[in-house]
Amino acid sequence: MSRYRLTPTPEQEITLAQHCAHARYVWNLAVEQQSWWRPGRSSAPGYYAQAAQLTEARAEHGWLAAGCQMVQQQALRDFAQAMTSYFAGTHRKPTWRKEGRDEGFRVVALKPSHIRRLSRKTGEVWIPKAGWVRFRWSRAVPEAKSYRVTRDRAGRWHVAFAAIPEPIPSPGTGEIVGIDRGVIVSAALSTGELLHCLGLRPAERVRLRQLQHGLTRARMGSRRRQRVKSAMARLKARESDRRKDWAEKTSTDLARRFDVIRIEDLRIASMTRSAHGTLANPGRNVRQKAGLNRGILSSGWGLLARRLEDKAPGRVERIHPAYTSQQCSACGHVAADSRESQALFRCVACGYVCHADVNAAKNTAAGHCGGCAGTLAAGQRMNREPQLLAS
């Protein structure tokens, strides 16, 4: 989707917030109906049955009838698509939407006359019951049949036009690159480049820590607490924007430069799982694990891989990550002692010295690793056959 920043008037913001509330209400009702379903019971109502129920609800409740029927119907269509994706095994089961966190709605049947350009940097889009709402014309607006209006936790409004962009063509040079993702170095390339995902600056991190302490002292439901939460949301939104901008620019650059992009097949959800444990079996090093989880999530591992697959379909290969950081990219010897520190790799067999993340990226680019056989012993056996590793 192509996303643009909306600048609604205060009156239009009220209307957009009401659309968000109605869409969230209808979505949560659909989730509640689906939660009743159990194996052996009759099937939960589908979209058409829920649309008929929506018509009855609009006739009964005036506040719901005052809203846009298209917005409410599209919330049901979104839920039906979410359930289809869940049963197909590609997405998780849809859950409840919360005020202040999941704010947005969708409108379809977009006509060319519903978008107009006012100046070089300003345009307008027609939103039901809100009229013409201005947005920043930051790039060309694609032809789309629907658009989605959202509001983030920082209170910013955006409009996204649903359009599938064309994939980036390969350069045709036959070059292959391997990518090793880390916390200190967000992405290390087999070419030796070290890429860092921009986050909060030191002064901004200090400010965020001060706000977090202030939040613990603010009374629940007070205006002070709301102001502190809004300030924290603005800082987090700034960090998220920088991470997305880095992922977009990096993925575009890699898709244009290389024919084949090989990346580690990491289970990020499992890697960032909490170590808190339970009362019966409490975890260990919980604070250290929480810090590691924050570092992984702030590096944009999953976002970079997803955008690469979107922009270079069929040219992204996922490689098994086992022992890529312990195997020497020069001779193929696998040893944990070769990784002397986070940044230094010194092979104990041949003496090859390289940045540890770049060495792992080279192993990823080669498409193999010493642990692909399943055990370290198997990897050690592969050291006696270097000609197989080079093939």
Picking from 161, 187, 210, the residue at the C-terminal end of a domain is: 161
For residues 218 and 101, membership in a common domain is answered with: no
Looking at the domain assignment, is residue 166 inside a domain?
no
pTM above 0.75, yes or no: yes
* Below-50 pLDDT ranges, the chain: 370-391
For residues 150 and 186, membership in a common domain is answered with: no
* pLDDT of res. 387: 35
Distance (Å, whole) CA 121 – CA 331 = 55
Burial of 113 (0-12, 13-18, 19+ CB in 10 A): exposed
* pLDDT of res. 290: 85
DSSP string, 276-314: -B-SSSB-SSHHHHHHHHHHHHHTTHHHHHHHHHHHSTT
Distance (Å, whole) CA 159 – CA 6 = 6
Picking from 135, 161, 187, the residue at the C-terminal end of a domain is: 161
For residues 121 and 62, membership in a common domain is answered with: yes
For residues 308 and 361, membership in a common domain is answered with: no
For residues 49 and 150, membership in a common domain is answered with: yes
Looking at the domain assignment, is residue 327 inside a domain?
no
For residues 118 and 228, membership in a common domain is answered with: no
How many structural domains compose the chain? Answer: 3
Residue 366 has which token pair? 């080669």
Q: Per DSSP, which regions of 167-291 are E strands? A: 176-181, 187-189, 194-195, 260-264
Looking at the domain assignment, is residue 169 inside a domain?
no
For residues 117 and 224, membership in a common domain is answered with: no
Looking at the domain assignment, is residue 331 inside a domain?
no
For residues 151 and 180, membership in a common domain is answered with: no
* pLDDT of res. 110: 66
Tens-place pLDDT, residues 281-301: 788 888 888 888 888 888 889
* pLDDT of res. 379: 37
Residue 122: count other Cβ atoms within 10 Å of its Cβ. Answer: 12
* pLDDT of res. 383: 39
Residue 253, domain extent: 176-319
Looking at the domain assignment, is residue 193 inside a domain?
yes
Q: Are strands 260-264 and 316-319 parallel, antiparallel or unpaired?
A: parallel
* pLDDT of res. 141: 87
For residues 214 and 301, membership in a common domain is answered with: yes
Picking from 288, 319, 350, the residue at the C-terminal end of a domain is: 319
Tens-place pLDDT, residues 209-239: 999 999 999 999 899 999 999 999 999 999 9
* pLDDT of res. 119: 93
Looking at the domain assignment, is residue 340 inside a domain?
yes
